[in-house]
Structures are given as C-alpha cells and as structure tokens.
Structure 1
Amino acid sequence: MELLFVTVIGAGIGLALRYLLPRRDTYGVLLLPAVSAAATAIVWVALVWVGWTFDGTWIWVASLGAAVIAAVLTAVVLPRRRLQSDESLFARLAGAKA
C-alpha cells in the first residue's frame, strides 16, 4: 500500500516541477509526472528488496529524491535535445526545397 502512496506523491512532485521549470512547451503535460512516478516506484522497490523497511524515513527520502532528480534531469535534457533536433530537421527540409 505504501508503494501506491509514494508513487502518487512522486507523480505530484513531477506535476509541480512541470510548472516550476522552464521550457515546458517542448514536452507533454504528463511526461514529468510519469517519469517521477516511475523513478519513485523503481527506487522504492529496489530499496525494499535490499531490506529497507517501508516505515523508515530514509526510504521515503530516497524515493522522493529520485522523483525530483529524474524530473529535473528530464526537464533540462529533453528540451535542449528537442530544440537541436528541430533545428537540424528544419535546416535539412529547407535545404531540400532550395
């Protein structure tokens, strides 16, 4: 049950970060919440398998920290690559017509 709670909280963190970070027009509305939720769930399950208990503080901190890190990395890397890709495609298409 805690896995569900931490995953929903992670998705909420991703949703909040979507509106706090710049260049949100280069990716979809649900991308950061989905990435954050996935990172949270993966870290939570991995830490449970290692032996951390679900009622400990550090499993929550690590899992939700992973949500923040994953969302920020996605929001920083993806727009930069998307803009570069769009520019190269535009240059290629504009050169083909000339």
Structure 2
Amino acid sequence: MELMFIALAGILIGFAGRYLLPWRSTHGAALMPALGGIAAMVLWVGLTWAGLKWDAGVIWWITLFGTGVVVAAVDILVGQVRTVSDAALLEHVTQHGVAA
C-alpha cells in the first residue's frame, strides 16, 4: 500500500517538475510525471531492501527528496541535450537543405 502512495507522490513531484522547471518545451508532457513515479518506486524499494522501515519518516523524506533531485536533473539534462541537438540540426538543414 505504501508503494502505491509513494508512486502517486512521485507522479505529483514529476508534474510539479514539469511545470516549475525551465525546460518544459524540450520534452513531452508525460516524461517528468512518469519519471517521478518510477524514480520514487525504485528509491522506495531500494531503501526498503536496505533495511529502512516503512513506518519511519526517514524513508519517506529520502524518497521524496531523491525523486525531486532525479526529476530536476533529468529535466536539465534532457533540456540541454535537446537544445544543442536542435541547434545542430537547424544548422545542418540550413547548410545542406535536408535533414541528416
């Protein structure tokens, strides 16, 4: 049951990241919420296997904070890579007239 709650919290963190972080125009609408849900579930299961108890507050805080960090890092990484890639494609098309 806790895994379902943490997945929902991760999806909500992903939605928040989608609309609060600056690279929104460089990726699809579902990428950050899906990534948030997956990251939260992976962190939760990993911390559970590491021995943290489900009713301890520390597992919740680590999972939620870690999910926010993952969402922010991926948003920045995807945004930068996509911007550079789009600029290179535009220059190629401008010079050669066809896409690579």
Q: TM-score interval w.r.t. the shorter chain?
A: over 0.9
Give the number of aligned pairs: 98
Residue in structure 2 matched with residue 76 of structure 1 by the alignment: 76
Q: RMSD across aligned C-alpha pairs, in angstroms?
A: 1.4
Residue 46 of structure 1 aligns with an amino acid whose one-letter code is: G
Residue in structure 1 matched with residue 60 of structure 2 by the alignment: 60
Q: 1:59 to 1:86 in 2, by over 3 A?
A: same
Residue 96 of structure 2 aligns with an amino acid whose one-letter code is: A
C-alpha deviation, 1:91, in angstroms? 1.3
Asked whether the equivalents of residues 36 and 66 of structure 1 are also in contact (C-alpha less than 8 Å), the reply is no
Identity of aligned residues (%): 34
- Residues 43-58 of structure 1 correspond to what in structure 2 (within 5 A)? 43-58=43-58
Asked whether the equivalents of residues 18 and 32 of structure 1 are also in contact (C-alpha less than 8 Å), the reply is yes
C-alpha separation between the residues in 2 aligned to 1:67 and 1:47? 13
TM-score (norm 1): 0.92
Cα deviation 1:5-28 (Å, max 9, x = unaligned): 011111101101211111311111
Residue 82 of structure 1 aligns with an amino acid whose one-letter code is: R
Cα deviation 1:68-94 (Å, max 9, x = unaligned): 001111121111110100111111122
* Residue segments in structure 1 that go unaligned for 5+ positions in a row: none
Residue 44 of structure 2 aligns with an amino acid whose one-letter code is: W
* Residue segments in structure 2 that go unaligned for 5+ positions in a row: none
Moved over 2 A (4+): none
TM-score (norm 2): 0.90
